[in-house]
Amino acid sequence: MSEVRPDRLKIFIELFEDSLEPLGGLDGTNIEGVAIWDLRRRLNVPNLDEWPVCFKLAGYAATYKYVHEAQYFWVDVKRVPNEPLTRFSCPETLAIREVALDELAVYQINEQKFIAGVLEILRPRLLSFQPSIIPMSKYCWYLGMATIERGVNVPLYLARGIERGYQPIYDVLSENCAYGLVLHSGRADPDLFKWPTGVQVQQLWDVLIGESLDFKWRPPLQQDVNAEPVPEGTSVIVLERQNQKCTYDIENQILTIVGKPDWHINGKRAGAVVHYLVEQAYRGRWEIPAKELLDKTKTDFGGAGRVPSIFRGNDQWETYISRPKHGYYGLNLELISAGASA
């Protein structure tokens, strides 16, 4: 994709956006994508042979753009049983015409290929990049952790469809993204929309043609990331904060906080989450973004995509894990009140 001419690159970005366009399908269902006749016109090619892996078939349209004596007509088509053909009635002559099924094809951009192409162009602009491509919805993808200008570390996202999918985009970012830089493929000005705190949005096209990647917001406690880690071989991690003591037995997955019952943690993923919170607290980071917490514990254990889901069935977990602010988690060292323990 890095070899695509700039004018074609912009068209591909628009097609990525328009792959969400709703159309009536030949089988009576609704499909999303761009019809073959529109693709030919926009790419100025007779077929898609030049890009065999860039598009994927989404279905077949229930209407056809028919030309009769230099006039365009939209006609409804019907499938010919057991044949790759459809038929329609000419609106001028009422004659029955046939059109090949391929002429009704509706395509979508291959998202994986498109994202790979975007990252191919973008990667030289990044000081470092750790790819971890995760589809979060049909509107939004997490791309990975990037180091951009001035050495700023920031989670990188790709989004499309602000006009029709603003609320789903907002919701998924609000739930999973404590902070991040979002590249948006749409035509709408992202500054006209309200975004979660810590989220900044830039136009994908502007960034790919040379606009600086800029991220001004700073996540809390970022200055503590380089504090000393837990020494290797440690079996029990000991923490102290504001005269409150906490220990974590790594092997047996037991969290002890003074003033609370010992928490015997069931499940490897739950144990990994608590272990990571304790390790980061040891380094001075007491508030961890949910996205980071999920990413750091999913490799070995997989499973839930939300922190509360990891502790499903254990209604006591919030006694030991707090939510200091939206999208963040940390150890809860507060003592249980007399009313709560009664």
Q: What is the pLDDT of residues 76-91, one digit of tens each?
A: 899 888 888 898 888 8
Q: Tell me whether residue 213 is in a domain.
A: no
Dist CA 210 CA 342 (whole Å): 62
119 and 137 both lie in a single domain: yes
38-69 as b/e, with b when 16 or more CB fall inside 10 Å?
bbeeebeeeeeeebeebbeebbbbbbbbbeee
Mean pLDDT over 20-28 rounds to 91
pLDDT for res 1: 56
197 and 295 both lie in a single domain: no
Q: Are strands 140-147 and 153-159 parallel, antiparallel or unpaired?
A: antiparallel
297 and 328 both lie in a single domain: yes
pLDDT for res 4: 57
Q: Tell me whether residue 215 is in a domain.
A: no
Q: Is 56 a residue whose pLDDT tops 60?
A: yes
pLDDT for res 223: 38
- Tell me the CA distances in angstroms from 267 to 252, 255, 305, 318, one per residue in order: 11, 14, 15, 16
Q: What is the pLDDT of residues 222-266, one digit of tens each?
A: 434 445 567 777 788 887 765 567 899 998 999 998 778 899 998
Q: Tell me whether residue 91 is in a domain.
A: yes
Q: Is 278 a residue whose pLDDT tops 60?
A: yes
Residue 134: closest CA among 165, 162, 173: 173
Q: Tell me whether residue 220 is in a domain.
A: no
pLDDT for res 305: 76
Q: Tell me whether residue 180 is in a domain.
A: yes
DSSP 254: E
Mean pLDDT over 52-67 rounds to 88
Mean pLDDT over 127-141 rounds to 90
277 and 203 both lie in a single domain: no
Q: What is the number of domains present in the chain?
A: 3
- Host H or E run for residue 317: none
Dist CA 318 CA 320 (whole Å): 5
* Residue 131 structural domain: 111-208
Q: Are strands 236-241 and 244-249 parallel, antiparallel or unpaired?
A: antiparallel
Q: Tell me whether residue 276 is in a domain.
A: yes
Q: Which residue has the higher pLDDT, 24 or 48?
A: 24
Dist CA 29 CA 37 (whole Å): 20
282 and 197 both lie in a single domain: no
Residue 107: closest CA among 160, 46, 37: 37
202 and 229 both lie in a single domain: no
**Unique residue bearing structure tokens 């057991």:** 82
103 and 117 both lie in a single domain: no
Mean pLDDT over 7-21 rounds to 90
280 and 322 both lie in a single domain: yes
Domain boundary among 54, 81, 109: 109
Q: Is residue 133 helix, strand or coil?
A: strand
259 and 199 both lie in a single domain: no
Domain boundary among 64, 88, 109: 109
- Tell me the CA distances in angstroms from 149 to 15, 204, 217, 221, one per residue in order: 29, 17, 13, 20
312 and 237 both lie in a single domain: yes
Q: Is 7 a residue whose pLDDT tops 90?
A: no
pLDDT for res 187: 87
96 and 144 both lie in a single domain: no
Domain boundary among 168, 183, 208: 208
| pLDDT band with cut points at 50, 70 and 90 for residue 149 | confident
Q: Is residue 341 helix, strand or coil?
A: helix
Q: Tell me whether residue 1 is in a domain.
A: no
Q: Tell me whether residue 219 is in a domain.
A: no
Q: What is the mean pLDDT of the chain?
A: 83
Residue 191, phi then psi, degrees to nearest 5 = -70, -15
204 and 192 both lie in a single domain: yes
End-to-end CA distance of the chain: 64
Dist CA 267 CA 238 (whole Å): 22
Dist CA 68 CA 91 (whole Å): 9
Q: Is 135 a residue whose pLDDT tops 80?
A: yes
pLDDT for res 339: 36
Q: What is the pLDDT of residues 171-213, one digit of tens each?
A: 988 887 767 899 999 988 888 898 887 888 999 998 888 777 7
Residues 6+ apart with CB under 8 A from 245: 238, 239, 257, 258
pLDDT for res 274: 93
